[in-house]
Structure 1
Amino acid sequence: MMDYNVPGGKLNRGLSVIDSYMLLREETEVDDEDFYLACVLGWCVEWLQASALVFDDITDNAYTRRDSLCWYKLPTVGMSAINDGVLLKCHVQAIIKRYFKEKIYFLNLMELWNEIGLQTAMGQMLDLITTHTGAKDLARYRIQGYRRMVKYKTSYYSFYLPVACALLLNGAKLSDYVELNNVLIEMGVYFQIQDDYLDCFGDPEVIGKVGTDIEDYKCSWLIVQAMELANENEMKILCENYGKSDPQCVAAVKNVYKELDLQV
């Protein structure tokens, strides 16, 4: 299960821990132990990412991930993937305790991971509430709500967490880097906008998955922008077709996106 879900991606989040740490230490020599600990934290971020993707694929009814079947789609797995996702996340705490319990920053590190776990779960809740709860109403899809959802669901664990881990490993206090937090959150929003665009217009052979944001009625950047730019007729087309799996409905939505110059 771990071999199937943890490796295989671009490893950007895990490598960000190492890259950030090496930049912080560029004036001093990094010994093998410190470099190894940076690698451990990098893999912890990748384990958290794997857990998030397992849950995401189930809630989105996704089919492929990283050029392979989603874990829950395997005949021998099914909904037991829910427990596997929990197991992946729980292992992170065990790994951190094993390698860092004697470090002076151990409690701060654990507090960071607990906080990020809560924020990510809140982001997932916002996504689920927006997508699956109540009557479908595209008028609710506004940039303020989109940014709030992305901030919690993506930015904190994908951008802030790797850098924060590197700072703690280097002996820094996170309270001294509040502005850095804000910058990393904005980077996460930019990243998610790119991801939303590729979900719709990217080549599945390149991005490693079949995008389903339109079919799943997702609050993506594209639909948020379209709702701000569309005229009355385009708005009618979006409301009639968004959230439907019929290929003709999906094509109709994409055509509106193109008319609004959202495809570049």
Structure 2
Amino acid sequence: MAAAVATAVAGAPNGKISDPRSAFMRAYDRLKSELLQDSAFDFTDDSRQWIDRMLDYNVPGGKLNRGLSVIDSYKSLKQGKELSEEEIFLACVLGWCIEWLQAYFLVLDDIMDGSHTRRGQPCWFRVPKVDMIAVNDGILLRNHIPRILRRHFREKPYYVDLLDLFNEVEFQTASGQMLDLITTHEGESDLSKYSMPVYRRIVQYKTAYYSFYLPVACALLMSGENLENFIDVKNILIEMGTYFQVQDDYLDCFGDPQVIGKIGTDIEDFKCSWLVVQALDRADENQKKILFENYGKADPSHVIKIKTLYNDLQLQAVFLEYERESYKHLIASIDAFPSKSVQEVLKSFLGKIYKRQK
């Protein structure tokens, strides 16, 4: 079943993958081929070429951390036991389902935000001749996920749990996106409505569930575990996801676009970001006036005024202190778990994002 990843697995001791990214990409090639031959649709040459190009443009171009984390988490949960080629392939498949979900979210999110670049290239809807066809492409990306799951997991005892998990996380993420969008509308009329409780709620639902909880939950289900027994793990992963989004907000303003792969637009888009919440909490009346008059304006002169204010409020130092305290708290929470394999999973996740630059 897993011939596509066999060369990366063969000869690896204790089920270790000699080249995880290579194995993962081989699995992508197989999944794409299966989707392009899906008997439920009578493909024309043009439609098959469109889907082929659309998938390559949107699905595998990121860091792939979410997808690769399924494999890492599953290996840790198996505590060094040798993994079969099928197990490794199925972990790759679940990882790619998360990457497909990510692609679906990003294609539509870029349209809603009017973004220009993603992963160092034009957003899909800005590619010539794509435009609003990208909306339907996002829907197709979403519909590919259950087709992949049915093909490869239908006979597994946890198949229904997988479907429920992906449906639940998609609902949570879409609801978080809704909260983000309507909060932005409220903020446009009254910036003072942006607060830390509001921010945390948006982040929890929009980012943390699908980026942090979902990969580990997939690995737990593959390991035969009941997710109801891992509520504490979920809570730590949600906290980790919040930390990740704070980093993202910080990099949107202070990161190098050449490194992070996109041009930050949170200020222009009136986003309820961690930085503006911190600014509102620290600004005096004159500084708040600058915020109210310039935040959410697309003109570069207004953006410069906001960034200057952020520097005056020393928000870069505030972020570094937040990062230190968050890491310390997360490590303490992880070390409190009795299961060493769960600790390994959580520390692996944290290690990938701590002090990231993109």
TM-score in same-fold range (> 0.5)? yes
Structure 2 gap segments, 5+ residues each: 1-53, 318-358
Partner in structure 2 of residue 235 of structure 1:
288
User: For residues 84 and 138 of structure 1, what CA distance do their matches in structure 2 show?
Assistant: 34
Equivalent residues of 2:187, 2:194 under 8 A apart = no
Partner in structure 2 of residue 185 of structure 1:
238
Say what the alpha-carbon RMSD is for the aligned residues: 1.0
Show CA shifts across 1:6-47 (max 9, x none).
011100100111110010012421110011000000011001
TM-score normalised over the length of structure 2:
0.73
Q: 1:70 Cα shift?
A: 0.2
Partner in structure 2 of residue 127 of structure 1:
180
Partner in structure 2 of residue 206 of structure 1:
259
Matches within 5 A, 1:62-141: 62-132=115-185, 135-141=188-194
User: For residues 262 and 144 of structure 2, what CA distance do their matches in structure 1 show?
Assistant: 26
TM-score normalised over the length of structure 1:
0.98
Please, which of 274, 298, 305 is the counterpart of residue 245 of structure 1?
298
Partner in structure 1 of residue 66 of structure 2:
13
User: For residues 295 and 87 of structure 2, what CA distance do their matches in structure 1 show?
Assistant: 50
Show CA shifts across 1:74-111 (max 9, x none).
12110111111111011011101110000001111111
**One-letter amino acid matched to 1:254:** K
Partner in structure 1 of residue 272 of structure 2:
219
**One-letter amino acid matched to 2:316:** Q
Are residues 1:157 and 2:222 paired?
no
Partner in structure 2 of residue 26 of structure 1:
79
Show CA shifts across 1:215-237 (max 9, x none).
00000000011010100010000
Q: 1:132 Cα shift?
A: 3.1
Equivalent residues of 2:187, 2:193 under 8 A apart = no
Partner in structure 2 of residue 53 of structure 1:
106
Show CA shifts across 1:99-150 (max 9, x none).
0000001111111111001101101100110113585211110000100000
Equivalent residues of 2:66, 2:99 under 8 A apart = yes
**One-letter amino acid matched to 1:188:** G
Structure with more contact order per residue of length (Cα contacts < 8 Å, sep ≥ 6) = 1
**One-letter amino acid matched to 1:249:** H
Structure label with greater radius of gyration:
2
User: For residues 192 and 135 of structure 1, what CA distance do their matches in structure 2 show?
Assistant: 21
**One-letter amino acid matched to 2:101:** L
Are residues 1:263 and 2:316 paired?
yes
Q: 1:212 to 1:188 in 2, by over 3 A?
A: same
Q: 1:263 Cα shift?
A: 2.0
Structure 1 gap segments, 5+ residues each: none
Equivalent residues of 2:104, 2:141 under 8 A apart = yes
